[in-house]
Structure 1
Amino acid sequence: MTNERADGIGFVFTQDDPIVGVDLDDCRDPETGDVDEDAQDIIERLDSYTEISPSGTGYHVLINGDLPEGRNRRGHIELYDTARFFTVTGDRVGNTPGHVKRRQDALEAIHREYVQLLSENKEPKRNERTSVRDDTSTATTPAVSLEDNELLKKAKNASNGPKFERLWNGNTAGYDSNSEADMALCCLLAFWTGGDTAQMDTLFRQSGLLRAKWDEVHYADGSTYGEKTIERAIEATSEYYDPSPRNESTQAKLETEPGTADVDTDEPDRRNAYLIEKNQLLSTRVSELETMIEHKDERISELEAKVEDLSAELSARSDEGDREQGQQTGGTKDNSDNTSLLSRTRRLFSGNSE
């Protein structure tokens, strides 16, 4: 039975398939083809089959993987692995693969950075102010008020001070791109400024990472690259520097005596940002290693199968060679047997004659 009103095909996500769909809405200008930078970043990192959505204003990306736990949407980004229908247009984006690829590590990183932000599910603390970031989440920040010079001094003397200083000086070593380094520095600035966007922008402009790109408009809503980077950094920050007297005294002690950090049972908030980012890096590295091991296991299986095939082929050739050699040496063997029999007979008669 057919439905005469059907005018296309689609894909239904179920629990029986390994496909995850990434739906990017309102990120493409259908007339000019211009794409928001976040959407472009997601498409490039997933590097799997991608097509333009039916409306022409977004994209559908299909990958092979497992959707991480937690929320599955934020703003114009949605992730699905079951109970969802994607209309298939076949209008594939150029320079993207023509088939669905496994991208588990990239999926987890994108889910963490764009959807499951670290700031959610956090209760406001004392002396904190709450500000609305978008229509789906809120972020909390403490009432921090440090002068720029004082802030920089504290940041450079903190436990993760060497990292802050490298980024501050424009050193991007250890990061895959300048954008990732920008984001890392902004997350640190968000921690020390309490999420003060104006102070974060002022400080970033003094850093060695500042580029002309910072003030370029890269988003459909008119946001510049710098504004969006600061916004995302604040959303991704769950812990902030706490200037309350109790924590301030502990902070000062740890800044002057770094070695005492390990014995202090009341670890200050300033270390949490470092630990959170370290855990993120370790999680990403574990995912990369798991993917590498998976690929190596697949390669080992392929090599083992190839060894079995070669062994079988070698055995067959050996058997065939034995048969050919037997045919060639058959007459010689008979003659040898005859010669041996004659020799024994001669020895026998020689013995009797004696």
Structure 2
Amino acid sequence: MFEYIPQEIRSVNNWCCWQAVPDPGKPGKIKKVPINAKTGGQAQSNNSDTWCGFDDAVAASVNFSGIGFMFSGSGYFGVDIDGVEGAIEDYRHGETDNIIGEFIYGLQSYAEYSQSGRGIHIICRGKLPPAGRRRKNVEMYESGRFFIMTGNCASEFAEIADCTERIKPLHEKYIGGGTEPSTGIETPAPLNLSESEIIRLIEDSKQGDTFRALYAGKWDSFYTSQSEADLGFCNMLAFWCRCDEQLMDKIFRSSGLMRDKWDRKQSGTTYGKITLQKAVKDCTKVYEPKSEYHIVIGQPAAKPEKKKLYSFDDTGNAERLVDTFGDRIRYSYVNKSWLYYDGRKWCFDVTGAIHRMADEIVEQMRNDMDYYVQNAPENWGDTETVEKNYMKHLKQSRSNRSKSSMITEAQHHVPITPDQLDTHKSLLCTPNGIINLKTGELQAHDREKFITKITNCEYTDKIDHPLWDSFLDSTFGGDQELIRYIQKAVGYSLTGSTQEQCAFFCYGTGRNGKSTFLETISDAIGDYATNIQPETIMVKPGATGPTSDIARLKGARFVNSAEPNEGVRLNEGLVKQLTGGDKVTASRKYENEFEFYPEFKLWMSTNHKPVIRGTDVGIWRRICLIPFTVCIPEDRVDKNLKYKLHQELPGILKWAVDGCLLWQREGLEQPQAVKQATAEYRSEMDVISAFMDACCEINDGWEKVRAKDVFQAYAKWARENNEYEMKSTKFGIEMAKRFSKGHDRDGVFYRGFSVNEEYLPYQVKFGGNVTSL
């Protein structure tokens, strides 16, 4: 991955790791934090004790997002060109007459594509011209900064060049002698909203959850220090307050972050003013009010300067509903249900949210009467007529029938089908953002992704899980190979991928932790986990057609089934279908049938292994039997363990995400414990082998044994030992897979074994043949 990085800079000890963390002050943005590869703490650009060598950084990077290079004191400088996707696309296709080609061929030094893929980094030996380090898309640094290194080489220049002279004309052209303006934008016009209105505006945005936490003073889940949280909160306020420092200061003082330090004298001013000024300086974009309604459930609509006029009928009301709430509502004809977006995920409306929206529309209509009277077109009549018709329509619209008609009429304007929901297999929605399971990065919530699931706990990579580690260690007897496999299996189960085509059976007697393990994982991942009755995947006589229990599994990732009865038989065909990536048909009661591709992984907790009759590889390659062999003594059982583990759910979610990243790097090779347990399970289910071991002797193959005699011996043995008794045709097919089979005038026979006399009491040998009288 990093083999293209030049040896010249590999030899200096200016390396570190880095970790991507969500930036609460900038929705959808990620902070790239330098990490000390030796300690796991934060690295500092002005402290070489927090740096390391290249090899150490690469070795430690498996636990972080990647590696980085610190410029201070190295004798190198870096050029960062970002946000130039179009130029990069052209450059990749051979077009060099653009900013990318100008820098690469002007400097002729090692260049690589940035981690985002939207820019390039060029590493050069030498010194930068004085003054000016950043303007628009171009930044240049030789100290105080670090570059994320990808090793994704962007040119034919594989070595570091001395660019002290080459950089001068490029610096003059793109940066010049000055620096960026003191603020990222021109002074914007004021928003003309009160503090409370601004606060409500932010709370109803994608940043709402983060804002509420910081406003309440709960910063430790997002930042490593309160000072950092202060600046992050002010960055957020700079956007929403349109860089109005006075308004930002008022909101900050009303928040839980306010403390005496805010007014403490510092460098001729105060800490608070310095923080506000820095936030304004760093702000490059401010909130622009929409020209349409900015409305959510329970909040009155903000009136635009010019409104659309709607007809006085159900169609007009439906259009008003869609125009007001259309980005937050959808209707599924398949599910016969409305969905609405709650700011984090899409929810099936089981609480009447769409009806509350209809109520909101009627209330909006009452407030709009004067506008209609004053702005109605001439063909609507005079003002008295318009007012009379409007009042009549408003009265009708307040009825239950009209509201229902409004809702029904709106359905076809915002349709959605089940296959449009939860389509992103590598995303996992949490209360504080969406995890990209390919990278471990946390992204902002996004209603356009149509996610209907959410975990029960927030995600952070800055948390440990000591109790969970201790639980796993005691449950699996310290078998670290098995524990690592289980972590990867759970991580794989977070995704919508079914590429491993397997099912996990957690087997063991009582008091061995398997139920606690599965329930805790289910608790952590929330909506992504579903429980099903074991009968769902067992053979059920007479069962035909799509079933509602299968329909419940649409969109699930982790399906837990507990304790099937002893002796029940696994529905092997269904398990193959559900784990093999094949499309299945399902239906819910009173709803239409629909098809979907399973994304879930089946986990079963059992004291009794389900009966599997199939002997083919098709079923057994899917079975992963995880042995829970450690039985906890009754006097050592912690009855509060589940509650204690619940306190570690964010850490357990991090453990699972780490497992997902491990699975993508290493695969899901079974450890010895799983291989052995599964092999023993398969042997137990092999009725033919059990019969042969108990009743037959393998020989050199010269004897003939009549097929009907062998079947009669098998049937007798099966009845006496309460074993599965297959039909003669099935028995013959299975025997033919293992032994030589022939025909003569007396019928079908086998070679290669003999049946013990106790099961064939009336045998007589004739010239090497065995027959029964």
Task: Report the TM range for the smaller structure's normalisation.
Answer: 0.3 to 0.5
Indicate the structure with greater helix content.
1
* Alignment TM-score, normalising by the size of structure 1: 0.39
Indicate the structure with greater strand content.
2
Say which structure, 1 or 2, has more relative contact order (CA 8 Å, 6+ apart): 1
* Alignment TM-score, normalising by the size of structure 2: 0.20
